[in-house]
Amino acid sequence: MRAVIQRVLQAQVETEGQQVSQIGNGLLIYLSVAKTDTLRDAQFMAEKLVNLRVFADEAGKMNRSVLDVGGAILLVSNFTLHGDCRKGRRPSFDAAAEPKLAEQLYEKVADLIAGQGVAVERGAFGEHMQVSSVNDGPVTFLLDSSRLF
């Protein structure tokens, strides 16, 4: 799995002109599932996302997690994170999971996050979405469950 993690003051997802989900302070996370991902990857990702210390403490150091600050997570599926642009001009998506597996593991990550006490909102899996956010910082991180980066 791959994730782009953005610290936000607010974020929302719309599809077909209708708001699907919205959060205030927290993390906007774009998540992509690889065809080789398993439950273990989902568990790693959920634990890391909930406990990653990217919010400032009283001293201004990134020392608090989304759980610590009482923030929420907006989890948005985004298979293009597994796009390979190294050859040619059109990205290859061979590494991305088929929709059935991707949705299963995406939902599992969301459930595991919620199970750790963090409010989690979801995007609209498989739909064309409009995502808007107010980034805080900006603070943005990349995460890969295979630890490629």
pLDDT band at 9 (very low <50, low <70, confident <90, very high): very high
pLDDT single digits (tens) 52-89: 999 999 999 999 999 999 999 999 999 999 999 999 99
Helix axes 99-115, 39-51, angle to 10 degrees: 40
CB 70 within 8 A of CB 23: no
Tell me whether residue 149 is in a domain: no
Outline where DSSP puts E strands in 1-149. Answer: 2-15, 18-23, 26-32, 55-56, 62-64, 72-77, 119-122, 130-144
* Domain at 113, CATH number: 3.50.80.10
Tell me whether residue 76 is in a domain: yes
Supply the pTM of this predicted model. Answer: 0.97
**Strands 26-32 and 18-23, bridge-based pairing:** unpaired
Q: How many domains does the chain have?
A: 1
Tell me whether residue 112 is in a domain: yes
CA distance 111 to 21: 16
The whole-number pLDDT of residue 17 equals 95
**Strands 26-32 and 72-77, bridge-based pairing:** parallel
Tell me whether residue 16 is in a domain: yes
pLDDT single digits (tens) 89-136: 999 999 999 999 999 999 999 999 999 999 999 999 999 999 999 999
- Domain residue limits at 88: 2-144
Tell me whether residue 50 is in a domain: yes
Does residue 48 have a pLDDT over 90?
yes
Tell me whether residue 78 is in a domain: yes
Tell me whether residue 47 is in a domain: yes
Does residue 149 have a pLDDT over 90?
no
Q: How far apart are the first and last CA of the chain?
A: 12
Give the mean pLDDT of 26-49. Answer: 98
The number of angstroms, rounded, from the C-alpha of 7 to the middle of its chain's C-alpha atoms is 11
Tell me whether residue 109 is in a domain: yes
The whole-number pLDDT of residue 148 equals 85
